[in-house]
Amino acid sequence: MKTIRFILSAAVLISAIGCGAQSETDRKVEALLSQMSLQEKIGQMNQLSGGAWLKDEAAAGNVGSILNCSDPKEINIVQKAAVEESRLGIPIIASRDVIHGFHTIFPIPLGQAATFNPAIVEKGARIAAIEATASGVRWTFSPMLDIARDPRWGRVAEGSGEDPYLDAVMGVAMVKGYQGDNLSDPTSMAACIKHFVGYGAAEGGRDYNTTMISERSLRNTYFPAFKATAEAGAATLMTSFNEIDGVPSTGNKWLLKDILRDEWGWDGMVVTDWNSAGEMIAHGFSRDLKHTAEQAINAGVDMDMMSYGFIQYVEELVKEGKVSEKEIDRAVRNILKLKFELGLFENPYVDETASAKVDYAPEHLEAAKQCAVESAVLLKNNGVLPLSAARTILVTGPLADAPYEQMGTWAFDGQKEHTITPLDALREEYNVIWEPGLAYSRDKNTKDFARVRNAASRADAAVVFVGEEAILSGEAHSLSNLNLQGAQSELIAEVAKAGKPVVVVVIAGRPLTIERDLANCDAMLYSFHPGTMGGPALADLIKGKAVPSGKLPMTFLRDAGQAPFYYNHNNSGRPCNGTETLLNDIPIAAGQTSLGCTSYYLDTGYGPLFPFGYGLSYTEFEYGKPVIENAELERDGVLRVSLDLKNKGKYEATEVAQLYVQDCVGSVVRPVKELKRFERITLAPGETKTITFELPVAELAFWNFDMEYVVEPGDFRLWVAGDSASGEPVGFVVK
Ligand code: GLC
């Protein structure tokens, strides 16, 4: 540590000379940078996966950050080598994918988006940071901001769905939760906005695949959440695996310098995804690993995750003049700044007793339960829910008692022993007959089905827990067929034969195509892998101790063949108008004439199964007609729209009222509608509240034909409703 003190005192000396408006951190960075050899600088740009066995690399100054280690003892071993054995004693940053909780696992991010409640998402991220930092993790690779319009893509589980506004709101909430008020707070960890950019647009929903996204689509759809979270202070950003129109993001100077730095003025640190630099060889963008390092650094990458290209070749590249030391200094400044801001020079070590004091704290579990309650979406209910009168219920299905699966994808540090399953929780509320029926979600063995049907006949009602094992969503887990796996649909049908009320609870990592299962049940609750406390949350909803309020963050399809499908689509020149002829209505030997002349499918028609923003309650909400305060607005004006919302039922409940706007005519075609605001309103039975949305006209801006970010004058329409397909439009004009 002696070396560091000398350097920091040099920083103080420089500041005493008063060299301009540099911050204290900048001065420390410059003082340290001026001491570093080229090899030491390159060492900081190298991120390796591992724990204590990396101590020698750390002692040699060859690693700036480690990932995938969450053991405080091991992190301290590597840190001690870096701080006390390397020449300059620069601490490492320990990083981890803490994307929906650390030990206390929250619903997967797609489920958290379904809450439409940024406050509870921020709280979950704060709790994740408290638990993760207590184990020595100071950098998480979250939030994932990839817009997802195709549920075949397994990573829809990790993001906030299809809408840019919801994506931005949830991303900002997570950044605030992880980073807290000050990065140097020991409970704060650096966020990492990822994957920049367009990764979710992979053709065919097949992970890592080509994306063809125009600049205008990038700016209007894929950039907004990244820009919002960058402006909210996200400390780091991760490049994406995909190439956009032939240019891999990790080597894309337009993205990483022109947009991020020059246009947005963002000054955080850029890390690659896992070997995404090295993968530019497979892309056919780089000749060899050395070439990838040259391209990545010159494009604006600061740190290399696990390609080993930087540590092996950058010294050579600098000597050959292919990478300037100026670029290296830029990268190392961003890395050192992050380490100073995290307070790692002053406090490099983690208290190895700290995690036991915070992990699974009662208030953490309670927050995880509340988040799971609010993330569940009621898709169907013919009145059987809540099961308040039932005394004996059958609990069946492969996800009823699956503590590991319930945590969902990327829950590395969640311990299944702490999970409370639906079976556990329902046994506290009912006399439960337990018949698994199937052993796991892909199980096709129907040998126990007769037992299950017999059990159903002895119960007042049946609750069937189906869905996906955790491994069936997440990275590299794309599916071409989105029906329930195995014999799960057959299990639901078998239970239905008993003639008792059937409630289906789907626990999955993505929107599945469950239309045929809907026909075989009286109610369906959709829970996106709800995490550690999913059982108590679902039991409260089934019992009626809680009322569903979740709304779909992604469109639900009738068939995977409809993908990609999203509510905020362009209208096309021949939008579906309901006059279309469907497959079974086509006359035999029909003449060669068009059957509908609109954009639809002969077999599935046009519409989705459930639209974005959809979700039922145990009560009924009535929306009054929206009233616009001033229907002729200047471009610097504010749109104010009010309406009455009434709870017509007998349960106190929360509704997510959504404001959608359409720009009717533009210099380029505009989406049929876009979510611009939402608000959670809780109403007592019979209560009516007037709600008002305020929307600055400036937020109607978009990147237009001339690639300018402007509000174009003209006619607009708005809707306020409980989902993206409901409500009547009201017009207004921007002058
Ligand atoms: C993975 C993922 C990325 C993750 C990183 C580190 O391949 O694409 O989201 O943060 O590697 O685990």
- The string of pLDDT tens digits covering residues 537-575 is 999 999 999 999 999 999 999 999 999 999 999 999 999
Catalytic residue among 146, 163, 207, 273: 273
Cα(301) to ligand 1 centroid in Å equals 16
pLDDT of residue 15: 45
**How confident is the model at residue 17, as a pLDDT?**
46
Q: In angstroms, what is the span from residue 324 Cα to ligand 1's centroid? A: 29
Give the position of tokens 């506290």: 428
Q: Catalytic annotation on 273?
A: yes
Nearest CA to ligand 1 atom 12: 97
Which numbered atom of ligand 1 lies nearest the CA of 158?
A: 9
Cα(483)–Cα(151) distance, integer angstroms: 11
CB-ligand 1 contact for 208 (6 Å cutoff): no
Residue nearest to atom 1 of ligand 1 (CA): 274
Contact in structure between 270 and 294 (CB atoms under 8 Å): no
Q: Whose CA is nearest to atom 11 of ligand 1?
A: 274
pLDDT at 304: 98
Residue of 108, 141, 178, 197 to mutate, ligand 1, most atoms within 8 A of C-beta: 141
Task: Confirm or reject: Cβ of 273 under 6 Å from ligand 1.
Answer: yes
> What are the Cα distances from residue 339, in Å, to 77, 190, 355, 478?
18, 10, 22, 36
Coil, helix or strand at residue 327:
helix
Please write the tens of the pLDDT for every residue from 216-267: 999 999 999 999 999 999 999 999 999 999 999 999 999 999 999 999 999 9
Q: Is the CB of 194 under 6 A from ligand 1?
A: yes
Does the beta carbon of 435 sit less than 6 angstroms from any atom of ligand 1? no
pLDDT in tens, 654-665: 999 999 999 999
Residue having the nearest C-alpha atom to atom 8 of ligand 1: 273
- Atom index in ligand 1 nearest the CA of residue 241 equals 8
141 C-beta closer than 6 A to ligand 1: yes
pLDDT tens string 21-71: 679 999 999 999 999 999 999 999 999 999 999 999 999 999 999 999 999
Identify the band that residue 14 occupies on the pLDDT scale cut at 50, 70 and 90: very low
Residue range 122-133: average pLDDT? Answer: 98
Atom of ligand 1 nearest to the CA of 276: 7
Query: Rounded mean pLDDT of the chain?
Result: 96
The tens digit of pLDDT for each residue in 190-221 reads 999 999 999 999 999 999 999 999 999 999 99
Phi-psi region of 350 (alpha: psi -120 to 50; beta: other; left: phi over 0): beta
pTM of the model: 0.96
Our mutation pick for probing the ligand 1 site, out of 475, 477, 478, counting the most ligand atoms within 8 A of Cβ, is 475
Tell me, using a 6 A CB cutoff, whether residue 97 lines ligand 1: yes
For residue 318, how far is its CA from the centre of ligand 1 (angstroms)? 29
Ordered DSSP codes for 669-727 = ---S-EEEEEEEEEE-TT-EEEEEEEEEGGGG-EE-TTS-EEPPPEEEEEEEESSTT-S
Contact, 669 vs 570, CB < 8 A?
A: yes
Tens digits of residue pLDDT in 361-395: 999 999 999 999 999 999 999 999 999 999 999 99
